[in-house]
Amino acid sequence: MKYPTIIGSLIFALTVPAAAADFTGPRVEVRTGWDHVALGNNQGSDDGIVYGLGAGYDFAIAENIIAGPEVGIDFHSTKECTPVLGNDELCAKFGRDLSIGGRIGTPVAENLLVFASAAYTNARVKVTYEDFDGILPSEKDGANADGVRFGGGAEIAFDYNMYAKAEYRYSNYEAGLSRHQILAGVGIRF
C-alpha cells in the first residue's frame, strides 16, 4: 500500500511547474529503493528493499553553497544466509538503520541541487544459526553495527515546497559489513 502512495507523490511532484527554488530551511522526506548488503571476507551478499524517513535543515553558508545536518531511519528486507557445518545455516537479517550526519551541495540549475553527504550510521543485525542436522542447538542473537556512510545525489524542487530526489549511498560497518543503496524520495520543505 505504501508504494502506490510514493509513486503517486512522485508523479504529482513531477507534473507541478516550479518557480525558482529556495533550498534552505527544514525538510522531511520519505524514501525507498534498492539495498545491497555484502558480508565481510566474501561470505556472500544479498539484495533487498530499503524504505525510510529523513529530516534535515539546510543553510546557505556561502553564495551557491547549501549545507546542513540530517537524520534518518531506514528499514530493510535484506537477508543473507550461508551454509555452515554440513546442512546448517547461518543467516544475517538487517533491520533498522539509524543515521546522523550532514550534506553539502550547490544549485546547478534554477530548481536542481546536487549534493554530497556523510553520516554516522548504526544498523541492527539479527543473526540466526539453524541446526538442521540436530547436533548443535539453534541460536538467535541481535547486535548493532556502527559504521560510516558516504553518498551523493540530486534534488529537484517543485511548487508547494515539494521536492523529489535520487541518491546513491555507500555504508561501511564494523565486522566487514558493507551496503550499497540507490534511493528515490519525495519531501516537503517548511
3-state secondary structure 48-107: EEEEEEEEEEEEEEECCEEEEEEEEEEEECCEEEEEECCCEEEEEEEEEEEEEEEEEEEE
31-79 pLDDT tens trace: 999 999 887 776 677 899 999 999 999 999 998 999 999 999 999 998 8
pTM for the whole thing?
Answer: 0.80
Domains of the chain and any CATH numbers: 2-189 (2.40.160.20)
Helix H or strand E encompassing 13: helix 2-15
**CB–CB of 140/125 below 8 Å?**
no
